Amino acid sequence: MRTPVTLALIFGLTVGAAPALAAKKRGPGKPTPNRVAEQCKELQGDKAEGCKIIGTYLDLWKQQKWSELKKLQHPKTQEKIASVKKMVGEDRHPMAPWYWAKDTYILHDYKVEAVEQAAMGTVVVNTTENSYRVEEDGFSEGDAASYLAGKFKGKWYVVDRRGGGGGFDKTSIEIGMKGYFDEAPAEAKADAAE
């Protein structure tokens, strides 16, 4: 037999739980399929290599496979992330997506808009991105970003990211990233100078 006190308690617990159920976040959902093959299929040479490394990086980001993603980051980029962590106590750096995934955003999908040869044999890949916004529990679509890839000790790496599609100019690469890249072949230097 249920007493009025027991019924009131059950009612109170049910009503109190309703906002918690309603407040449950939808989350980012299942990651979209890998896009690197379709995004880079018409490119050749260094542009293809730069597109592939950045596309693979972005596909790993969508899947939140941080240890595999970190293997694609330039060693000096990892040093910069470590330096930021030492100074501020957290990995608050544009190339530390694992930090932003906790409470800010997670990459959901991307589209390569342009691939350009840049200074010192590097490649700039401009994208538009759709991201899941953690706090808002919703999506932001069509955000511009630029990525820089380059060869170091014969291997391609993702070096930097700039939100807003700001790109990378010759000076920022040659002066700001001195010692990051292998010597560019003469034809890559000529392409970047154009």
Q: Does 15 reside within a domain?
A: no
Tell me, what amino acid is at 61?
Answer: W
Q: Does 36 reside within a domain?
A: yes
Q: Domain holding 63: CATH number? A: 3.10.450.50
Task: Output the pLDDT for position 186.
Answer: 62
CA distance 100 to 170: 28
Per-residue pLDDT of the chain (194 residues; tens, 9 = 90+): 555 555 454 555 555 554 545 567 788 888 899 999 999 999 999 999 999 999 999 999 999 999 999 999 999 999 999 999 999 999 999 999 999 999 999 999 999 999 999 999 999 999 999 999 999 999 999 999 999 999 999 999 999 999 987 779 999 999 999 999 998 766 555 555 55
Please tell me what DSSP assigns to residue 120.
Answer: G
Beta bridge partners of 134: none
For 115, the domain range is: 27-193
CA-nearest of 85, 117, 88 to 98 is: 85
Q: Does 4 reside within a domain?
A: no
Task: Provide the number of structural domains found in the chain.
Answer: 1
Q: Does 17 reside within a domain?
A: no
Q: Does 127 reside within a domain?
A: yes
Task: Output the pLDDT for position 31.
Answer: 87
CA distance 81 to 69: 14
Task: Output the pLDDT for position 29.
Answer: 86
Task: Output the pLDDT for position 57.
Answer: 98
CA-nearest of 121, 153, 123, 122 to 40 is: 123
